Structure 1
């Protein structure tokens, strides 16, 4: 199992969350088996998202989806996200 972590700033959490919640079907269609959203305690617009995949290749392919980039822009992501992959041991 591979977990994709994405940390980014958003201009407004509520706006971002609405877009994120409508993206669920695309997540599932592209291999996401579980997901979670976290906010920094001192800044609700500092968001970290995790997505689990069966393989690293599926996780990497997901990060390259045009729909994902569009959703991030529509959700108000600010700057360049920090992205990393992990595997459960």
Structure 2
């Protein structure tokens, strides 16, 4: 399992969430098998997203799509502040206690 982690500042969470829910990057069609959205309890102007993929190539392709089609150009959501921080991580162990 590979996870694309994204963290960025937002100036309006409700507007950002509406944009996220419109799914401009076609999460399901891009191989996302699950996702999680977080907000730090001490910073309501930040959002963290984790998108899970079966294959590393799918995560890399999604990151490229986000960079070139969602986070840049005229379609960039006005609710974003600055450039998102991203990384792709591989799950090596998970356990429920």
| TM-score, scaled to structure 2 | 0.81
Would the aligned equivalents of 1:4 and 1:51 in 2 still touch at CA under 8 Å? yes
Greater helix content: 1
Query: How far off is 1:39 after superposition?
Result: 0.2
Q: Alignment RMSD, CA only?
A: 1.8
What corresponds to 2:49 in structure 1? 49
| TM-score, scaled to structure 1 | 0.88
List runs of 5+ in structure 2 lacking aligned partners: 93-97
- Following TM superposition, the consecutive aligned residue runs of length 4 or more in structure 1 with deviations greater than 2 angstroms are 66-70
List runs of 5+ in structure 1 lacking aligned partners: none
The structure with the largest alpha-carbon Rg is 2
Greater strand content: 1
In structure 2, relative to structure 1, the CA distance for the partners of 1:24 and 1:69 (3 Å cut) is closer
